[in-house]
Amino acid sequence: MQADDPRIEQIFRRLALEAGAEIMKIYNAAEMNVRAKSDASPVTEADEAADRVISAGLRAAFPDVALVTEEQAASHATRATTFLIVDPLDGTKEFIQRRGDFTVNIALVKDGLPVRGVVFAPAKARMFYTRADGTSVEEQGPFALDHPGPLRRLAMRAPDPGALVVVASKSHRDAATDAYISRYNVADSRSAGSSLKFCLLAAGEADLYPRLGRTMEWDTAAGDAVLRGAGGEVLDFDTHAPLVYGKPDYANGFFIARHPAVDLVQA
pLDDT per residue as tens digits for the range 182-191: 999 999 999 8
Helix or strand (DSSP H, E) at 166: strand 164-169
Is 212 in contact with 177 (CB distance < 8 Å)? yes
Is 33 in contact with 94 (CB distance < 8 Å)? no
Q: What is the pLDDT of residues 219-255, one digit of tens each?
A: 999 999 999 999 999 999 999 999 999 999 999 999 9
Please state which CATH number belongs to domain 164-258. 3.40.190.80
Domain ranges of the chain: 7-153, 164-258
pLDDT at residue 267 in the model: 65
pLDDT at residue 234 in the model: 98
Is 124 in contact with 134 (CB distance < 8 Å)? no
pLDDT at residue 17 in the model: 98
Let me know the angle formed at the C-alpha of 10 by 197 and 52, rounded to the nearest 5 degrees: 75
Instruction: Quote the crossing angle between the two packed helices 45-61 and 7-27, to the nearest 10°.
Output: 160
pLDDT at residue 40 in the model: 59
Q: What is the pLDDT of residues 189-211, one digit of tens each?
A: 998 888 999 999 999 999 999 99
Domain 7-153: CATH superfamily, name plus number: Fructose-1,6-Bisphosphatase, subunit A, domain 1 (3.30.540.10)
Stretches in the chain below the pLDDT threshold 50: none
